[in-house]
Amino acid sequence: MTAARGRTEITELNRTPREQFVAALGWIFEDSPWVAERAWRSRPFSGREDLHQAMVREVESASHEEQLALVRAHPDLGARARMSAASASEQTGAGLDRMPPADYESLMALNSRYRERFGFPFLYAVKGSSSRDLIRALEARIEALPEEEFREALRQIYRIAGFRLEGLF
pTM of the model: 0.85
Using a 10 angstrom Cβ sphere, with 0-12 exposed, 13-18 middle and 19 or more buried, the burial of residue 79 is: middle
Reported as a single tens digit per residue, the pLDDT across 2-33 is 443 345 799 999 999 999 999 999 999 999 99
Give the domain ranges of the chain. 10-168
d(CA 113, CA 127): 23
Which residues does the annotation mark as catalytic?
74
> Model confidence at 103, in pLDDT bands (50, 70, 90)?
confident
Fold for 10-168, please state it. UraD-like (1.10.3330)
